[in-house]
Structures are given as C-alpha cells and as structure tokens.
Amino acid sequence: MENQLDPAGLGVDAPDTPAKSRSARWIGKGVAGAVLVAVSATAFYLHGSGAAPVVAPPPPSVTISAPLQRDIEDRLGFLGQFSAVNRVELRAQVGGTLTQIHFKDGDIVHQGDLLFEIDPEPYRIKLSEASAELASANARLALATRQLARAQELQRSEAGTVENVDQSVAEQRAAQAAVDRANALVRDARFDLDRCRITAPFTGRIGTHLVSAGNLISGSRAGSGPTTLLATIVSLDPVYLDFDISENDYAAFQRSRAGQQGPLADTVNISPTGDSGFTRTGKLDFIDNTLDRSSGTIHARATIPNRDLSLTPGGFARVRLATTAPQPALLVPDAAVLDDQTDHMVYVVGADDVATPRKVQVGDLRGGLRVIRSGLAPTDRVVIDGIPSVHPGSKISPRSGTIRFTAEQVAEGAKS
C-alpha cells in the first residue's frame, strides 16, 4: 500500500492497483504542463519586448460661450388675487311679492337695467291716498288764505279786531303745514313705488338669482331690519389685484422708491393664470399703513384694466414689480450654474483650456437664463454644456457655442 493522491486531489490511502497508478501519473503530468505554460506566458508578458503602453483618455469635449449681455431691471415677484372694485348685494327696500326677473344668471348687465320687479299695486294705493290728502290740504290752505285776507281787510276798516287777524294767520299757517306734510307723504309713497323696480347700480356681471318669482320678500330702506338677498353684482372693468409683500421685500421696495418719480414707481406687470407671459400692466395704487404682525407681510393693491372682461374676481395672477430702471447685466443658462453648499459657481475656461470653478452671485431667471450679479466678466469663457465631465483644474477640449434669448424662453422665464 502506498499513500497517493486520489483523483479529487486529497491525500488518502488507496489500493496499489496498476490501473489507478497509471491514472495518477497522467493527472500529475497534466497539472505540471499547465503550470509550465502559465509561467511561460507570464514571463513573456512581463519581460517581452512587445508590451503595449497605457494610453491616457482624451480631454472631455464641452461647449463654452461668453455670458449674454442684456439690459434688465431689478424686480420683485408676488402672487396676487383679483377682486372687484365694486360689489353690491341686491336687496329690496320695500317688501312684497316678487313678480318678475329680467336677467339670466351670469349676464353682463349695464347701469340702469331693470333686474327685479315687486308687485307695485299696494304702493300705488298708498300714493293715491297721499295724493288725496295733499289735495285736501291744499283746499284747506286756500280757504285759510282767503279768510286771512278778509280779516286783514276788516281790521284796516276798523270793522275787525287784531285777534281775528291773528287767528286767521294761525289757521293759514296750520293749513300750509298740512300741505307740506301731504307733499312729504306723496314723495314717500312715490319713493316706495319706484323701489318696486330694482335696477343695476353699475355695469358688471350679475350672479344667480337667489329668490324666484312669486316669493314674498322683505325689504328695509335703511337695511337695519330683515331684508331678502336677491342677487349679487360685481364690476369687471377695472379690477383690483391684491397681494402681500414680505417685510424684507417691502424694505427693498422702499429703498428703491427713494427719490423715484414717474411711472416706474407704481407700474406692475401681471401674468394671469393661463397666460403665457406678463402681457398686462396695471398701477400700484395702495399699500397698507401697517405690517401684519402675524404673517410679517404688508397688504398692497394694484388696479388692472379689464376691457375684454377676461379677468374674473377671485382668480389668481403672478405680479412683477420693477424696483430699478433697466441696467446692463450678464446672463448664462441656468444649468451652467452649480450649487456649492450656500454658494453658486460656474466653470470658466482659461487660455490654457483648463476649467476653473468661479464663485458668482446670482439673480432671478430671465428668459430661461440666470442673471449673474457679480463674479463674471463679459469676456469670460463659461462652460454651458458638458458640465458633468468637467473637474476642477482639468484640461478640456472646448468648442464654441451661443447663448440664446428666444421668445419661447421669454415665455418660459415669465412663468418662473
């Protein structure tokens, strides 16, 4: 018995048979040959004269351009909501049965248009009574006037007394007072009769009618008693745009307005919901006198023309308020500006085609481009495309590009 390697390569005691001895010898020769080939190949690779050198990758290809120069103004942006300049709740000043409605819900109505009618018959009767009382008072006044004239004539002829004259004067004055009272009653009755017809106080859009014809409604002249709300009407041209200004923005606005004159001080540009840009202008005509202590904002309001009646009270719009006149500024694509913790930077390419990060101060978006307030010169070459392949201090392969400020980008920037 001889201790040999078994076919699995483990040292075990196996019977010494001729077949197994020949198999073991062939396996040993094969392993030795494989090892010899591997060693020879390794030596040839390490010491041979045909080894290939390591080739460095080419520098990354990027697009560069000088910053775009434009005259732009500093501005503030807010979100506002439209409201009506005039809004009226239509209520009756007299009570009665509502007989007719002369509009369709949501119509544009004009000042003086008839909207509702209340049954006028009870008020015609009241006017007739007042008119009859006025006629009676006029008759008594006429009689008292004639009696006074006779009493004065008798006194002049010494046939009458002073007491008779005084009594006639008092009766004549009482009759005149009765006429005045009757006239007031007539005007009162006519006032109530006229208020049976409810008309539009101004031109605007009326809402839905809240009471149907045939209902008994209550009214009050002073509005102190119970009254029935019939409908609401709002004016449409112009409209208010209300918005809130933060304390910091308000301070910046106040600084910018110091010594400012002309339309720049109160002109706002707006972009209503659904519009592609800031296509409308208005006038800033009100800023509140105190800051809201709970929100840290101050309320402001602009008046916006609405001749096409497309702006609806309750709708929203973006507001832009310019704080300076247009001044030269540099712009680069927003994608070219990288965030570096609390700072911003761009890659600038030098004469040796080496990319170097440059810290910049940025502004808002204009036409899809980012405003650079400081840190760049008009002649700098800025990387505008291929930024992910650039590393600080690395050499790059630049190709010239162009920064464009197209109409589509203007619309896109207006939404930002």
Q: What distance in Å separates the CA atoms of residue 224 and residue 246, rounded to the nearest whole number?
A: 40
Residues 27, 100, single domain; the answer is no
Among the listed residues 117, 65, 144, the one whose alpha carbon sits nearest the alpha carbon of residue 401: 65
Residues 294, 242, single domain; the answer is yes
Residues 337, 398, single domain; the answer is yes
- Percent of the chain at pLDDT exceeding 70: 81
Residues 335, 392, single domain; the answer is yes
Residues 134, 273, single domain; the answer is no
Residues 114, 204, single domain; the answer is yes
- The answer on pLDDT for 405 being more than 50 is yes
- The answer on pLDDT for 152 being more than 80 is no
- The answer on pLDDT for 188 being more than 50 is yes
Residue 66 contacts residue 382 (beta carbons within 8 Å): yes
Retrieve residue 55's tokens: 């080739």
Residue 258: give the domain boundaries.
75-85+238-322
Q: What distance in Å separates the CA atoms of residue 398 and residue 404, rounded to the nearest whole number?
A: 18
Q: For residue range 74-122, what is the model confidence (pLDDT) as tens digits?
A: 778 889 999 999 999 999 889 899 999 999 999 999 999 999 999 999 9
Secondary structure E strands in 110-238: 114-118, 197-199, 204-206, 216-217, 229-234
pLDDT the model gives residue 366:
78
Residues 143, 178, single domain; the answer is yes
Retrieve residue 217's tokens: 């409604």
Q: What distance in Å separates the CA atoms of residue 278 and residue 410, rounded to the nearest whole number?
A: 10
- Categorize the per-residue pLDDT at 51 as very low, low, confident or very high, splitting at 50, 70 and 90: low
- Categorize the per-residue pLDDT at 223 as very low, low, confident or very high, splitting at 50, 70 and 90: low
Q: For residue range 261-284, what is the model confidence (pLDDT) as tens digits?
A: 544 457 888 888 877 778 888 888
Residues 333, 295, single domain; the answer is no
pLDDT the model gives residue 22:
46
- The answer on pLDDT for 73 being more than 70 is yes
- CATH code of the domain containing 214: 2.40.50.100
Residues 190, 245, single domain; the answer is no
408 domain-assigned: yes
Residue 176 contacts residue 169 (beta carbons within 8 Å): no
User: Last residue of a domain, which of 294, 322, 350?
Assistant: 322
Residues 162, 131, single domain; the answer is yes
- CATH code of the domain containing 291: 2.40.30.170
Q: For residue range 303-356, what is the model confidence (pLDDT) as tens digits?
A: 999 988 888 899 999 988 877 777 788 888 888 888 877 888 888 988 888 888
Q: What distance in Å separates the CA atoms of residue 378 and residue 355, rounded to the nearest whole number?
A: 17
How many distinct structural domains can be found in the chain? 5
Q: What distance in Å separates the CA atoms of residue 142 and residue 179, rounded to the nearest whole number?
A: 10
Kindly write down the DSSP assignment for every residue of 262-324, as one continuous string. Answer: SGGGTEEEEEETT-SS--EEEEEEEE-SS-BTTTTEEEEEEEE--TT----TT-EEEEEEE-S
Residues 133, 190, single domain; the answer is yes
Instruction: Tell me the pLDDT of the chain averaged across its residues.
Output: 80
pLDDT the model gives residue 361:
87
Which of 86-90, 236-240, 410-414 is least confident? 410-414
